[in-house]
Structure 1
Amino acid sequence: MKILVVGAGATGGYFGALLTRAGQDVTFLVRPHRAAVLRERGLRVTGRDGEWAVEPRLVTADALNTLYDLVLLSVKSTALEQAVEDIAPAVGPDTAIVPLLNGLAHIDALNARFGTAAVLGGVAKVVTTLSEAGDVVRLAPLAHLTLGEQDGRPSPRVEKIRSVLAEGGIDVLVSEDVTASMWHKWVFITTFGAVTSLMRGTVGEVNAQPGGADLGPAVLAEAAAVAAAAGHPVPERERRATLDIVTAAGSSMVPSLYRDLTAGRPTEVEHLFGDLLHRARALSVATPLLDLATLHLRVHQRRATAAP
């Protein structure tokens, strides 16, 4: 199976490196600057597994002229529009696209460009970041993918993809309702992002203050209410797992959104929060804390993207 991994950042870089190390036919579609770094250093993974590296096969958008069986789309939402155009030469009638972005707006964009038959649902749960040198740093044990057909039907191609990814050392779950799985991840990431971004602190720092431990459950209740109104209630097990993370005493955990915020970089505010609020309004669900977090992030976004 010919696999194109779009983006070699913290998520795509990690899963793509696993597949490459296992001998799968993997090519990374990257920007010229990232290509230069990877050609010089290789694709390195550090952290919990020690340090290891692979020599990745690379292509830039101007040189992409081959069809692929599987496209793993792992970019920030701010790069989605360009990525959709960049991957077009790689997508044929039998290509399966598995996006690993959070939220749901990207599914609409991909469906519109390539058709629903080409696009699977996908969820990535992995705790990684990029070092200043451009290496993938694995911060926690969690690392698995969930995928499935958008309509939930079993399909041979999904099973084939699962098998190939599993042979590459990736823990993969096939979901009969991948849209629900995407909603549940969305609830988690917006809850986690709102708590840390609003308070400009780690989970542990927030919960160490009087009243801090009440914030996470309150934000989660809002986000979960939107999901439930959309027809995808969060199961108790997942709700409890999210609560455990956002109320953990002494935890140094922060999401990538927080790291972008505190570094002065643009965030995925519209893709993650703006779209969720749009759906909440359409469903008549009140979200005052998520509204406040979104406003906070939008003010930052305006500063971060303002011309110098």
Structure 2
Amino acid sequence: MKIVIIGAGSIGGYFGALLAKAGNNVVFVARGNHLRAMQNNGLTVKSALGNFHLDKVEATDDIYSIQNPDVIIHTTKTWQVKDTLPAISAIMKEDTIVIPLQNGISIAEEMQSRIPKENIIQGSCKILSKIEEPGMINHFGDTPMITIGEYNQEFTPRLKRLENTFTNAGIPTIMTDDIEKKLWEKFVLICTGGLISITGTSFGRVREIPETREKLRDSLIEICAVSQKVNGKLELEFADKIMDVIDNFPYEGATSTCRDLWNGKHSEIDYLNGMVVKLGKENDVPTPINDMIYYCNLPREYKARKGE
């Protein structure tokens, strides 16, 4: 199977390396020093599940140069997706499958501006990893996992082929008949980074102070209320399940959105708490806590976008 990984960083680099190690024809799309390191020295994965090195990998920064992919796994940041769509559309075959693994709930819909809906299989992933240095991915934390599902909620032959391909590569994979619900469940959790960001602290510090804990829980209830109006996928009580998850996070833990904002980088805040605000307005659901979270993060976000 010819698989293209668009965004061969901490997520795409890890999953792509496993797929290549299993014998698939994998093309990595990357840039900068990370791209040059892969082209010259291959790709190294450090992991508690087993270290390995690929002596030779196919890597490029030119999507247009890739021919006849069977599967395109998209793992860039959410805000980078739109710029890749013309190139993806140009290289696709009639039956090429595109799988977005970004955070958020709107990327598959955004892709449909250039990619036919029938070519998209929605996906979500769980992984803690980073680029330790150019050409080296460091996976840490729990076992990574991918969840995939069709729009029509069926376990189609192509979905089963993907599940088999990923599983054979050592990637635990779940097929679901309700991928939209799975995306929303992850969305609620990822949106917690917005509040952590503006406090400048961590999950542990926010959850141990009664006042900030209450605001965190209220922000989650707002997202569940928006979901009820949009698609009915989440009950309000789901907020307490997420609080239970947060109570088991490392005390000094934070999200990638937090780290991006703190480090002056363009973040995904528009696709997270910003999306809650947008959908709340469109569906007449008040979201005062998420309004505050989003708008308080915007000055830092706008500064990052201007490169200041």
TM-score, normalisation: structure 1: 0.91
Superposed counterparts of 1:170-189, under 5 Å: 170-189=171-190
2:236, 2:24 → 1: CA distance? Answer: 37
1:50, 1:83 → 2: CA distance? Answer: 32
Cα offsets for 1:190-225 (capped at 9, x unmatched)? 1x2123112111111223435333333222111111
In the alignment, what sits opposite 1:24?
24
In the alignment, what sits opposite 1:252?
252
2:20, 2:182 → 1: CA distance? Answer: 27
| Pair 72,232 (structure 1): closer, same or farther in 2 beyond 3 Å | farther
| Pair 137,252 (structure 1): closer, same or farther in 2 beyond 3 Å | farther
Q: Does the 8 A contact of 2:35 with 2:135 survive in 1? A: no
Cα offsets for 1:209-259 (capped at 9, x unmatched)? 353333332221111111122124336996555212323476222111011
2:240, 2:139 → 1: CA distance? Answer: 24
Superposed counterparts of 1:263-278, under 5 Å: 263-278=263-278
1:237, 1:165 → 2: CA distance? Answer: 33
2:307, 2:262 → 1: CA distance? Answer: 19
Superposed displacement of residue 51, structure 1: 3.5
Greater displacement, 206-215 / 106-115: 206-215
Task: Please state if 1:306 is matched with 2:273.
Answer: no
Q: Does the 8 A contact of 1:208 with 1:249 survive in 2? A: no
Which segments of 5 or more consecutive residues in structure 1 lack a partner in the other structure? none
In the alignment, what sits opposite 1:96?
97
User: Which amino acid in the other structure matches residue 205 of structure 1?
Assistant: R
Identity within the alignment, %: 23
Superposed counterparts of 1:71-150, under 5 Å: 71-133=72-134, 135-150=136-151
Alignment RMSD: 2.2
Superposed displacement of residue 56, structure 1: 2.4
Superposed displacement of residue 95, structure 1: 0.4
| Pair 232,81 (structure 1): closer, same or farther in 2 beyond 3 Å | same
Q: Does the 8 A contact of 2:45 with 2:136 survive in 1? A: yes
User: Which amino acid in the other structure matches residue 53 of structure 2?
Assistant: A
Aligned residues: 307
In the alignment, what sits opposite 2:154?
153
| Pair 249,109 (structure 1): closer, same or farther in 2 beyond 3 Å | closer
2:44, 2:276 → 1: CA distance? Answer: 35
1:78, 1:169 → 2: CA distance? Answer: 29
Q: Does the 8 A contact of 1:69 with 1:95 survive in 2? A: yes
Superposed displacement of residue 274, structure 1: 2.0
In the alignment, what sits opposite 2:216?
216
2:218, 2:306 → 1: CA distance? Answer: 33
Cα offsets for 1:35-65 (capped at 9, x unmatched)? 1132344322224335332242212216524
Question: Secondary structure, in 3 states, of the residue corresponding to 1:103?
Answer: coil
Superposed counterparts of 1:217-232, under 5 Å: 217-232=217-232
